[in-house]
Amino acid sequence: MVTLNLRVNGKERTLTDVDPSTPLLWVLRDSLSLVGTKFGCGMAVCGACTVLVDGAPVRACSTPAGGLAGKNITTIEGLARSEKELHPLQQAWIDHDVPQCGYCQAGQLMSAAALLARTPAPTDQDIDAAMAGNLCRCGTYQRIRAAIHTAAGKLSRSKA
Amino acid sequence: MNAIVNNVDESVRELMRDVELGASAGAFRAVKIDRRSFLKYTGLMGGGLVLGFSLSTPADAAAAAAGDFTPNAFLRISRNGSILIFNKGPEIGQGIMTAFPLIIAEELDANWADVVVEQAPVNPAVFGRQSAGGSRSIPDSWDQLRKAGAVARSMLMSAAAAQWKVPVESLSTRDSAVWNGKRSLSYGALAAKAAGLAVPDAATVKLKERKDYRLLGKSYTGVDNRKVVTGAPLFGIDQQLPGLKFAVYEKCPAVGGKVRSANLDEIKKLPGVRDAFVIEGNGKTTEIMPGVAIVADSTWAAFQAQRQLKVDWDETDASKDSWSALAARAAELGKLPVGEKTLVNTGAVDDALKGAAKTVSGFYTYPFVSHAPLEPQNCTAWSHDGIVEFWAPSQTADRALTTVAGALGVPVEKVTIHQTRVGGGFGRRLMNDYVCEAGAIAQRFNGPVKLTWTREQDMAHDFFRAGGFHSLTGGVDAAGKLTAWRNHFITFSQDGKVPSSGADWSAEQFPAQNMANYQLSHTLLPLKTPTGPWRAPRSCSVAWVIQCFLHELSAAAGRDHRDFLLEVMGEPRLLQGGLNTGRAADVIKLATEKAGWGRKLPAGHGMGLAFHFSHSGHFAEVAEVSVDANKRIRLHRMVVAGDIGPIINMSGASNQCEGGVLDGYSTMFGLEITMENGRIQQSNFHQYPLLRIADQPKVEVHFIQSEHPPTGVGEPALPPVAPAICNAIYAATGHRVRTLPLTKEGFSAA
């Protein structure tokens, strides 16, 4: 059991008496009450638990929290730029009415955010590759793809 | 056979009847309420009136004094003009949280931007049906919700008429206001006055005509989408309470096994574990099967302890089911043209086959499949102050009240259920086993507990879509007309008498009423593995058999399949069971027209057509696939044409069809559940490979918005998917798929 210092969504969080092998997912959900990151499979094959660690998509269900000291962890709760301004992907998700049950969408959004951060104008092939780790049981992939393209267009315009 | 399992199957079958046949389309089931339920409701809500139920209570007077207008349980209009609408149904991804309030807002003539939606309390005495299943939400609640809005609108108009001292006939409503010429009074301004009026009888209130709709039929984004995309706590698994502890519940991997002993003392010593105990259960798979509960300080601590758990199972009465043995037996039985029980026998099938110009035979096999909702089964329960309180992602919270009360041995008045958003239903959460389990654990533990199943448990302890086998022979005459159809259906039974839930075949099923010589028989194989409704139960499997075999016959006759299918439909008429052949023909024509049926395709491409009627919905779909020399397949496009009457939310309805196509494709492509020695062989998504974004075809959805009453769309777009794809594979390759999933016949994704 150790004391863990994590930087989550820009805030320093200290956790005492933690087993360092505890997956980040359960630290987020059960200890920090950040329940937007979802449990789906527990073996990194469904993507529902995707968060960003130093900007890279990571499956929180299979990532021990003990190795994340000093790294920047971003969860769905920290994706929006502010209380008022959603991330362009979040707005595109709303505009395209992407969600059905909605359970996978936090993970989808985090994978898409990582994609747009390094590939601002992704092709369909880029999207296929970046989103391959995220299952949607309801089958909203067609709208996810459209929403990523919409958000990419907005991002590139806002940067121009 | 095991009495335990028989008992279970009857309960699931009863549920299936309720889900599938619970009410006739469009029927308005009056909401009955007694005084006690009403007071319970007002206690929860702080004031409100049930539709058509007018009385003065202190709570009502308080609401009126605050200036709020609460004409019924669905609505509250406050003085500032905000309109609160309560959604009574479970949101399972079908969009009811948006669709139900839209119906009320339409009749109210509200501005949608003024509307705030909240989940209603679970109280069927007040709200009527509070389940999501069988695509029944819209048809069962359409009249009830319209009247809830219309009653309020009528009272607001009366209030305005009194204020202006003009006849009510001189008034109109739009944009959350009553209008008299160019002057208007907002609903907020009228709320206090309307609250003082008597609530009119809902039966006397005039409903809007369809041509006057302002809201329905347009596209709306889901009312909770902002919460979904920002990670707000919405789902059952997101429930948090002060002092909450975390539980797991281990059951026998072969259904029906009992706990002989377990290493409870060792488990209790593990880090973070608070308690561990055996629960005997009541032997019903839909309620509480025997198992071991572990309560811990975190979900992870509970999962870790579960891995250390050693249970000695008594498997005397447990399932020994073997898919390989059952399939081998079915293949033998399939050699018999007629099964042990004949269900339908019209005309003279043997004579018709003898006289046919061409006959075709085929043996079709489809597997068991799992629901695999992405949110694993979970429930939070807390036994305190003489009640048991639940936060449940259930599809049937109304039914859960009585199920849980019975299973836990507490009066139903002492059970409270809070409906959470549901991370995927697909029929799995029609059963409330995980709710009962959470309650049983909570009864033994001091404080609130959240039970979470692992993915492996979710896949092992499902109520699976039953597999099945069909031995078919059919015939066409010299003119290529369908003349004979004989089907020996080899299916499963828990009790040796009737098929398992979702494993039966209706006597009315197409094409029984569309031809002269038709015979259907079945043989039942014994099964202990639980089965149940899976998205479009029955239809999700039999549509594939029917629509593929019809295509075998039209291909043998050298006919165009569209022409053949329209010919089998025949003249427009309503058949037993609800199939309207005119509506069927219309969607077949629309789908083929939009798909460009008959156009020249690139080499290796093929187009396939299928139709199916289920859940009051008529759907035709055209698939375009390509298949290469190595049997690598790609579904390029699926054109969907459906008639479910008027559309409530165009975006939501289209989304359901898009999802239905992907679900149907994913399932027929590579999904199967097998069992050996009673144990499910697949454990997680690596062995149950749902399709991913790269496999997504282009899906186009077209609706015929006929004048029939609106019906549901969560299910009926799914059944035509698999046969449309298999018929397209035949068109592309000449290979007839008779075994699902496609991977069993050597296909892979391109």
Task: Give residue for tokens 């579904």.
Answer: B635
Amino acid at B387: I
Asked whether the predicted pLDDT for residue B58 surpasses 90, the reply is: no
Residue B48, phi-psi category: left (phi > 0), alpha (psi -120 to 50), beta (remainder): left
Cα B75 from Cα B86, distance rounded (Å):
6
H or E element at residue A118: helix A105-118
Task: State whether ipTM is beyond 0.90.
Answer: yes
Q: What is the pLDDT of residue B535?
A: 97
For an interface test with A, give the residue of B228, B635, B636, B669 to mutate (most A CBs within 10 A): B228
Which residues have C-beta within 8 Å of that of residue B244, sequence separation ≥ 6?
Answer: B380, B447, B448, B449, B450
Asked whether the predicted pLDDT for residue B606 surpasses 80, the reply is: yes
Mean pLDDT computed over B45-50: 30
Residue A37 in contact with partner chain B when CB distance is under 8 A:
yes
- Structure-token pair, residue B136: 């029944």
What is the four-CA torsion angle of B454, B456, B462, B467, rounded to 10 degrees? 160
Task: Give residue for tokens 């058949």.
Answer: B575
Cα B125 from Cα A113, distance rounded (Å):
46
Q: Which residues of A touch B454 (CB under 8 A)?
A: 42
Which residues have C-beta within 8 Å of that of residue B600, sequence separation ≥ 6?
Answer: none
Task: Give residue for tokens 């991997």.
Answer: B253
Residue B175, phi-psi category: left (phi > 0), alpha (psi -120 to 50), beta (remainder): left
Q: Which residue of A has its CA nearest to B651?
A: A97
Q: What is the pLDDT of residue B15?
A: 58
Closest CA–CA distance from residue A73 to any residue of chain B (Å) = 15
Q: What is the pLDDT of residue B38?
A: 36
Mean pLDDT computed over A61-70: 96
Q: Which of A135-144, B19-28, B361-370, B671-680 has the lowest mean pLDDT?
A: B19-28
Asked whether the predicted pLDDT for residue B28 surpasses 70, the reply is: no
Question: Beta strands B632-643 and B748-749: pairing type?
Answer: parallel
Do A128 and B694 count as a contact with CB atoms less than 8 A apart?
yes
> B-contacting residues of A 38-67, CB under 8 Å?
38-43, 45-46, 48
Q: Which residues of B touch A16 (CB under 8 A)?
A: none
Cα B71 from Cα B564, distance rounded (Å):
54
* Beta bridge mates, B606: B625
Q: What is the pLDDT of residue B49?
A: 29
Over residues B10-25, the pLDDT tens digits come to 555 555 555 544 333 3
> Any idea what the Cα angle at residue A80 is, between residues A74 and A83, rounded to 5°?
125
Task: Using CB atoms, pick whichever of A104, A132, A144 lies closest to residue B374.
Answer: A104
Q: Which residues of B touch A135 (CB under 8 A)?
A: 374, 685, 690, 692
Mean of pLDDT over chain B? 92
Do B230 and A38 count as a contact with CB atoms less than 8 A apart?
no
Q: Which residue of A has its CA nearest to B301?
A: A22
Over residues A85-124, the pLDDT tens digits come to 999 999 999 999 999 999 999 999 999 999 999 999 999 9
Amino acid at B470: H
Q: What is the pLDDT of residue B10?
A: 55
Exposed, middle or buried by CB within 10 Å (0-12, 13-18, 19+), for A38? buried
Closest CA–CA distance from residue B388 to any residue of chain A (Å) = 23
DSSP labels for B66-114?
Answer: TT-EEEETTEEE-TTS-EEEEE-S--SSS-HHHHHHHHHHHHHT--GGG
Q: Which of B4-8, B465-469, B492-496, B637-641 has the lowest mean pLDDT?
A: B4-8
Q: What's chain A's Rg over C-alpha atoms?
A: 16
Nearest-CA neighbor of B63 among B82, B85, B48? B48
Mean pLDDT computed over A127-140: 98
Q: Are B701 and A153 in contact (CB under 8 A)?
A: no
- Structure-token pair, residue B85: 């609408």
Share of chain B above pLDDT 70, in %: 91
Nearest-CA neighbor of A6 among A89, A68, A94, A92? A68
Asked whether the predicted pLDDT for residue B31 surpasses 50, the reply is: no
Query: In this structure, what are the phi and psi dihedrals at residue B249, rounded to the nearest 5 degrees?
Result: -140, 115
Q: How would residue B741 be classed by pLDDT, with cut points 50, 70 and 90?
A: very high
Q: What is the pLDDT of residue B531?
A: 98
Q: Are B450 and A130 in contact (CB under 8 A)?
A: no
DSSP labels for B200-251?
Answer: PPGGGSPPPPGGG-SSTTS----TTHHHHHHT-S-BGGG---TT-EEEEEEE
Task: Report in angstroms the alpha-carbon separations of A159 from A94, A121, A152, A156.
Answer: 22, 12, 11, 5
Mean pLDDT computed over B152-168: 97
Asked whether the predicted pLDDT for residue B526 surpasses 70, the reply is: yes
Asked whether the predicted pLDDT for residue B130 surpasses 80, the reply is: yes
Q: Which residues of A touch B661 (CB under 8 A)?
A: 139
H or E element at residue B451: strand B449-452
Nearest-CA neighbor of A97 among A59, A140, A49, A151? A140
Asked whether the predicted pLDDT for residue A158 surpasses 90, the reply is: no
Nearest-CA neighbor of B549 among B613, B628, B486? B486
* Beta bridge mates, B416: B389
Q: Which residues of B touch A19 (CB under 8 A)?
A: 271, 300
Q: How would residue B62 be classed by pLDDT, with cut points 50, 70 and 90?
A: low
Q: Are B741 and B625 in contact (CB under 8 A)?
A: no
Over residues B607-647, the pLDDT tens digits come to 999 999 999 999 999 999 999 999 999 999 999 999 999 99
Cα B579 from Cα B513, distance rounded (Å):
10
Over residues B656-681, the pLDDT tens digits come to 999 999 999 999 999 999 999 999 99
What is the four-CA torsion angle of B438, B441, B443, B449, rounded to 10 degrees? -70
DSSP letter at B316? T
Q: Which residue of B has its CA nearest to A134?
A: B692
Q: Which residue of A has its CA nearest to B225?
A: A94
Over residues B220-231, the pLDDT tens digits come to 999 999 999 999
Question: Beta strands B245-251 and B449-452: pairing type?
Answer: parallel
Do B94 and A100 count as a contact with CB atoms less than 8 A apart?
yes
Closest CA–CA distance from residue A115 to any residue of chain B (Å) = 14
Q: What is the pLDDT of residue B269?
A: 98
- In total, chain B counts a number of residues equal to 750
Q: Which residues of B touch A128 (CB under 8 A)?
A: 693-694
Over residues B251-269, the pLDDT tens digits come to 999 999 999 999 999 999 9
Do A90 and B454 count as a contact with CB atoms less than 8 A apart?
no
DSSP letter at B374? S
Asked whether the predicted pLDDT for residue B56 surpasses 90, the reply is: no
Q: Are A101 and A135 in contact (CB under 8 A)?
A: no
Task: Using CB atoms, pick whichever of A19, A30, A40 lies closest to residue B246.
Answer: A30
Q: How would residue A156 be classed by pLDDT, with cut points 50, 70 and 90?
A: confident
Q: What is the pLDDT of residue B176?
A: 98
Which residues have C-beta within 8 Å of that of residue B663, sequence separation ≥ 6?
Answer: A137, A138, A139, B426, B535, B718, B721
> B-contacting residues of A 87-146, CB under 8 Å?
89-90, 93-95, 97-106, 109, 127-128, 131-132, 134-145
Q: How would residue B55 be classed by pLDDT, with cut points 50, 70 and 90?
A: very low
What is the pTM assigned to this prediction? 0.94
Q: Could you tell me the maximum CA-CA distance found in chain B, to the nearest angstrom? A: 83
**Number of separate helices (H) and strands (E) present in chain B:** 20, 28
Residue A55, phi-psi category: left (phi > 0), alpha (psi -120 to 50), beta (remainder): left
Mean pLDDT computed over B596-606: 97
Mean pLDDT computed over A32-45: 98
Cα B319 from Cα B234, distance rounded (Å):
37
Q: Which residue of A has its CA nearest to B91?
A: A101
Over residues B268-326, the pLDDT tens digits come to 999 999 999 999 999 999 999 999 999 999 999 999 999 999 999 999 999 999 999 99
For an interface test with A, give the residue of B219, B221, B230 to mutate (most A CBs within 10 A): B230
How many C-beta atoms lie closer than 10 Å to residue B376's C-beta? 27
- Map residue B437 onto helix, strand or coil: helix
Cα B295 from Cα B246, distance rounded (Å):
6
How many C-beta atoms lie closer than 10 Å to residue B39's C-beta? 12
Query: In this structure, what are the phi and psi dihedrals at residue B441, rounded to the nearest 5 degrees?
Result: -70, -45
Q: How would residue B29 be classed by pLDDT, with cut points 50, 70 and 90?
A: very low
- Map residue A70 onto helix, strand or coil: coil
- Map residue B423 onto helix, strand or coil: coil
- Structure-token pair, residue B499: 């098929």
* Beta bridge mates, B177: B174, B186
Q: Which residue of A has its CA nearest to B535?
A: A138
Over residues B537-594, the pLDDT tens digits come to 999 999 999 999 999 999 999 999 999 999 999 999 999 999 999 999 999 999 999 9
Q: Which residues of B touch A142 (CB under 8 A)?
A: 658, 662, 696, 698-699
b (16+ CB within 10 A) / e for A138-159: bbbbbbbbebbbbbbebbeeee
Q: How would residue A83 be classed by pLDDT, with cut points 50, 70 and 90?
A: confident
Q: How would residue A155 be classed by pLDDT, with cut points 50, 70 and 90?
A: confident
Mean pLDDT computed over B704-713: 96
Task: Using CB atoms, pick whichever of A34, A35, A135 lies closest to residue B374.
Answer: A135
Task: Using CB atoms, pick whichever of A41, A90, A142 lies closest to residue B685.
Answer: A41
Asked whether the predicted pLDDT for residue B51 surpasses 70, the reply is: no
End-to-end CA separation in angstroms for chain A: 49
Cα A28 from Cα B228, distance rounded (Å):
17
